[in-house]
Amino acid sequence: MTKIAKIALATTLLAGSLSANDIIKGSGASFPYSVYQKWLKAYNKDTGVKVDYIKKGSSKGIKDAESRAVDFAGTDKPLSPKALKKSGLYQFPGVVGAITMGYNVPGVKNIQLSRNAIVAIASGKVAYWDDQVIASVNKGVKLPHKKLTFVHRADGSGTTYNFTYYLSKISAEWRGEFGAKKSLNWPGEQHIGGKTNSGVAALLKQTPFSVGYIDYADAKNNGIAMATVENKAGNYIKPELKYFQAAAAKADLNPAKDFYAVIADPAGADSYPMVAATFILVPAEKPEMNKKVTAFYNWSYKNGQEIAKSLGFVPLPESLTNKINTYWAEKGIK
């Protein structure tokens, strides 16, 4: 049987097990919103099943899952097995994406940021764009003597959690003073906050001489310039899919731990450093609805790879989706 025939058969069987009247409701992380939106539209077209997903940020996604306000919730901050057990939730990864350093410096392109520069910017220790910590690795780039504005998330955010987790891995000072959090009182005087990744994109676009952390898809869709950043090996890596894939290959997502893992700053000469898996939470006591949720994600794993790649997300490898399917079967939600 050809690959196309296998997919057609699988789709027919899947569509036959679901009703066109089904509506599956989800909410949470904005980081994977763009890929989920395209997946759910393609899934509806193929099966007739409607899936709604509202981006609220990871913090509200977790709250929605805990209060049973939705059928599934997205979060970029994974919950530990202990926290999942306490809340009666199951967890599995949806997709892997990347966080970038978007910037708006009129007339300036191809900015590189070292690990020290990223920590200094987030710490509020860089006042001007021509500060030595930025200029030292941008020889030949005419950086302006203009005040630098740092743009961050204002809401509870898994993107913030993964960014600050990354900062904690590369800076002992950051780890000791701030740590990894979904939200925090950012240090320094020159910073502004936006709600969801779309809000950060809007602030970057309307604020000259700004820089901030934002997911790759929102930066790309909004035409925002993205810095080349230093990785663990000391190489400067562009925010491109092949480098996200090199980083994702290092991820250790173990079903025995409910896939609990944060994958920032992996080893590897070509690994992009600011990568993150994003996760799905479902309530343990609703196996029949959960089977509809996992059917959607199983369809997306199999048929949504090109959609994910087109948006700069890394599809989960078959070796991992096989583990997820086994996890679902063991939990009775497949």
DSSP 145: S
For the segment 251-276, the average pLDDT, to the nearest whole number, is 93
In the chain the first and final C-alpha atoms are separated, in Å, by 24
Please work out, in degrees rounded to the nearest 5, the angle formed at the alpha carbon of residue 223 by the alpha carbons of 222 and 229: 110
3-state secondary structure of 141: coil
Q: 166-179, pLDDT tens digit by residue? A: 999 999 999 999 99
CB atoms < 10 A from the CB of 11, how many?
16
CB atoms < 10 A from the CB of 152, how many?
22
Q: 25-82, pLDDT tens digit by residue? A: 999 998 899 999 999 999 999 999 999 999 999 899 999 999 999 999 999 999 999 9
DSSP 17: T
Which pLDDT does position 21 carry in this prediction? 59
For the segment 279-285, the average pLDDT, to the nearest whole number, is 97
pLDDT of 9 over the 80 cut: no
Q: Please, what is the average pLDDT of the chain?
A: 92
3-state secondary structure of 60: helix
Pairing relationship of beta strands 210-215 and 89-104 according to DSSP bridges: antiparallel
Q: List the single range of 12-16, 39-43, 68-72, 135-139 with lowest mean pLDDT.
A: 12-16
pLDDT of 276 over the 60 cut: yes
pLDDT of 14 over the 90 cut: no
Which tokens go with 248?
């994702």
Which pLDDT does position 250 carry in this prediction? 86
The fraction of the chain above a pLDDT of 70, given in percent, is 93
Residues 20, 22, 23, 29, CA torsion sign: negative
CB atoms < 10 A from the CB of 329, how many?
11
pLDDT of 20 over the 90 cut: no
Which pLDDT does position 238 carry in this prediction? 97
In the chain, % helix, strand, coil (3-state, to 5) comes to 40, 20, 35
- The alpha-carbon radius of gyration of the chain (Å, integer) is 20
The model's confidence at residue 251, banded by pLDDT at 50, 70 and 90, is: confident
The model's confidence at residue 252, banded by pLDDT at 50, 70 and 90, is: confident
Which pLDDT does position 75 carry in this prediction? 94
The model's confidence at residue 13, banded by pLDDT at 50, 70 and 90, is: very low
pTM of the prediction? 0.83
Q: Report CA 273 to chain centroid distance, whole Å.
A: 13
pLDDT of 114 over the 80 cut: yes
Type of residue at 117? A
Which pLDDT does position 260 carry in this prediction? 94
Which pLDDT does position 6 carry in this prediction? 45
The model's confidence at residue 22, banded by pLDDT at 50, 70 and 90, is: low
Which of 280, 326, 295, 272 lies closest to 48 in space, CA to CA?
Answer: 295
Are 162 and 99 a contacting pair, CB within 8 Å?
A: yes
Quote the CA–CA distance of 296 and 191 in Å, as a whole number.
39
Residues 121, 125, 128, 131, CA torsion sign: negative
Type of residue at 311? L
The model's confidence at residue 19, banded by pLDDT at 50, 70 and 90, is: low
Are 151 and 203 a contacting pair, CB within 8 Å?
A: yes
pLDDT of 18 over the 80 cut: no
Type of residue at 109? K
Quote the CA–CA distance of 139 and 114 in Å, as a whole number.
13
Q: Phi-psi bin for 234: left (phi > 0), alpha (psi -120 to 50), beta? A: left
Which pLDDT does position 249 carry in this prediction? 86
DSSP 314: B
β partners of residue 191: 150
The model's confidence at residue 319, banded by pLDDT at 50, 70 and 90, is: confident
CB atoms < 10 A from the CB of 44, how many?
14
